[in-house]
Structure 1
């Protein structure tokens, strides 16, 4: 019984890592920048490992019926994704992913395209991948399985604890960022207003100088926003903002989007 549970855990880690690779490549291509995707620090997306193992346990006996595997995988994955999105939002007061921009979505938590992808993935895992994975783990001596499971369980537990401890006060950090952005914004508006009023009776080159001054102020503002983010967000929180481009906060989401805009504009400005 223990050996079976340990193998299930190793399978969970394997598919969590595969999910991390898939998500990282997908989001990196979409964002046109390297994105280390994943809720944990390590290369794991636990929702993929959980879904895969549940699918293996539930559908392992009906692998000869790919239509049934596809349907059950699609529905099961959508239920798991919807519940995970809801639970994480309740725990951390933030929406980690959002499918509102996709057609046929449900509250932005799941969408039809995702259901199709997960259904196909379920068929591939149950019929093609898992038999090979099971062969590998079956060839491992029991002591190796025991030690691997123990070591990875400790590492995963530590990673989870560090991650949760780092992001539990994310909303408070966002409050601080919002206050600092508002202060910088008011200061910039005053400076821009003085520049415009001082150039109101000028034309030609003077107008061009005024516009250039406005651009410099805009860059300065974005740099101030980035500096504020570095000071109020810890490492875990900064990683989450980078890893989840569609992360939305329940409170002060405007400040979060202002930060994203600043990062994007500064990144484009360096190219």
Structure 2
């Protein structure tokens, strides 16, 4: 089945019923991205921290268990797959470019606003100002393909079995929590493990 079909949520009747699946997908991807960050950091520092300690300390700018950069990237990858998903080679390249732009701009904004770095690729092969590198671009491009071709279709099918009222209520609850966390983090960002202050 072509990617333009499998990565599109089931067509609903109202605008609300179309937006809700994408918002829930954003939150799901944000949580998975946060969990990935925790696991990667634990693997790199397994002798220093207990995994549960990392779960409780959180990774990322926000204080809750979500990394919105992953959510934004995942939604963009799904939307792009609906346009060019039938051409995997081209889609892979576009994923690299889009993810690179998202990651670079996010890093620059965070450094400018909070004078801190939540990631730094300095020393990595083909890095640009420590904000992106070849390894991260390839990884996120591959992740984008996995999201569009594998994860998203299953996600759409799963939530299509849940009553619209249920998904809408869940979406509202998560959105309220996310906005509260965002407001708190703008005033006092999570300066947890791995964050480096800029000189």
Q: TM-score, normalised by structure 1?
A: 0.62
Residue 14 in 1 paired to residue 36 in 2?
no
- Partner residue of 2:161? 139
Q: Which residue of 1 aligns with 2:91?
A: 69
Partner residue in 2 for 1:241 = 192
Q: Relative to structure 1, is the Cα distance of residues 94 and 38 closer, same or farther in structure 2, using a 3 angstrom cutoff?
A: closer
Asked if residue 250 in structure 1 is aligned to residue 189 in structure 2, the reply is no
Q: Distance in 2 between matches of 1:140 and 1:100?
A: 45
- CA separation in 1, counterparts of 2:65 and 2:43? 18
TM-superposed CA distance for 1:140, in Å, is: 1.8
More helix by share: 1
Q: Write out the 4+ residue segments of structure 1 that deviate beyond 4 Å after TM superposition.
A: none
Q: What is the deviation of 1:42?
A: 1.7
Query: Superposed, which structure 2 residues align to 1:117-136 within 5 Å?
Result: 117-136=139-158
Q: Aligned Cα RMSD in Å?
A: 1.4
Matched, 1:3 2:24: no
Cα deviation 1:26-56 (Å, max 9, x = unaligned): 1111122243322222211100000000111
Is the counterpart of residue 86 in structure 1 residue 108 in structure 2? yes
Alignment map for 1:1-271 (pairs within 5 Å): 1-32=15-46, 33=49, 34=51, 35=54, 36-167=58-189, 236=190, 240-242=191-193, 245=194, 247-251=195-199
Q: What is the CA-CA distance between 1:149 and the residue it aligns to?
A: 1.0
Equivalent residue for 2:12? none
Gaps of 5+ in 2: 1-14
- The answer for unaligned runs of 5 or more in structure 1 is 168-235, 252-271
Larger radius of gyration: 1
CA distance in 1, matches of 2:84, 2:198: 42
Given that 2:61 and 2:118 are in contact with CA atoms closer than 8 Å, whether structure 1 keeps it comes out as no
SS at match of 2:192: helix
Deviation at 1:148, TM superposition (A): 0.9
CA shift in 2, pair 1:149/1:241, >3 Å: closer
Q: CA deviation at 1:250?
A: 3.0
Task: Give the TM-score normalised by structure 2.
Answer: 0.83
**Count, aligned residues:** 177
Q: What CA deviation, in whole Å up to 9, does each residue of 1:101-136 have, x standing for no partner?
A: 211101100000001101111111111111000111
